[in-house]
Amino acid sequence: MSRPAHRKPEYHKINKDLFVLTYGALVAQLCKDYEKDEDVNKYLDKMGYGIGTRLVEDFLARSCVRRCHSYSEITDIIAQVAFKMYLGITPSVTCNNSSRTEFSLILDKNPLVEFVEELPAGRSSLCYCNLLCGIIRGALEMVHLAADVTFLQDRLKGDRVTEIGITFLRKLDEKKYRRKK
């Protein structure tokens, strides 16, 4: 009796420019829909959150990472495995506080902004890649970790590097399913 081959599902790759330009079109449309930068940032984060809650399942299915025992391990995995898998880049990780709950991902290459020279006039506080923050936040929440994820520095705003800050908050409890009486 032959064992059926457990073929890995084929992961379709798409053209990078198509992806980058689609993201740009998304941000441009949000800018048309909302006047205030805070609103655009908020909706990018919200969309990212929805993506992250599902993306994490794909990530776990494909990467078979071991269970992590510390926040720094988790941040390393986000930078070295997840970013590599989905964006093809590997940001470097730094720890920002002694209790090891605040970390930064330093991106020196960011494919999403490849065609963006500078932020449009009147949009100086737009976080162009805020989708990424929402994705990380949504993904972490699905593995029972609450975190604040924001851009600390942004090359598009004139900073030297692009830096995403992840602050781990308390661990979310697994709620036992309660019987409805």
Residue 173 in the binding site for another protein (CB under 8 A)? no
Q: Check residue 14 for interaction with another protein (CB under 8 A).
A: no
179 binds another protein (CB under 8 A): yes
Give the bridge partners for 94, in sequence order: 104
Nearest residue to 103 via CA among 92, 111, 112: 92
Give the nearest distance from C-beta 42 to another protein in angstroms. Answer: 21
12 to 15, 86, 178: CA distances (angstroms):
10, 12, 40
Q: Look at the block and give the residue holding tokens 């064992």.
A: 3
Beta strands in 28-123 (DSSP E): 92-95, 102-107
Does 176 interact with another protein (rule: CB under 8 A)? yes
Asked if 56 touches another protein (CB under 8 A), the answer is yes
- Rounded Cα–Cα distance for residues 5 and 111 (Å): 36
Least distance to another protein, CB of residue 149, Å: 18
Tell me which amino acid residue 123 is: R
Report the residue number, 9 or 122, with the smaller CB distance to another protein. 9
53 forms part of the interface with another protein (CB under 8 A): yes
12 interacts with another protein by CB under 8 A = no
What letter does residue 119 receive in the DSSP assignment?
Answer: P
Question: Whose structure tokens read 């992250």?
Answer: 52
Binding residue count for another protein, defined by CB under 8 A: 26
Summarize as ranges the residues that interact with another protein (CB under 8 A). Answer: 1, 3-4, 6, 8-9, 53-54, 56-58, 60-62, 64, 66-67, 69, 142-144, 174-177, 179
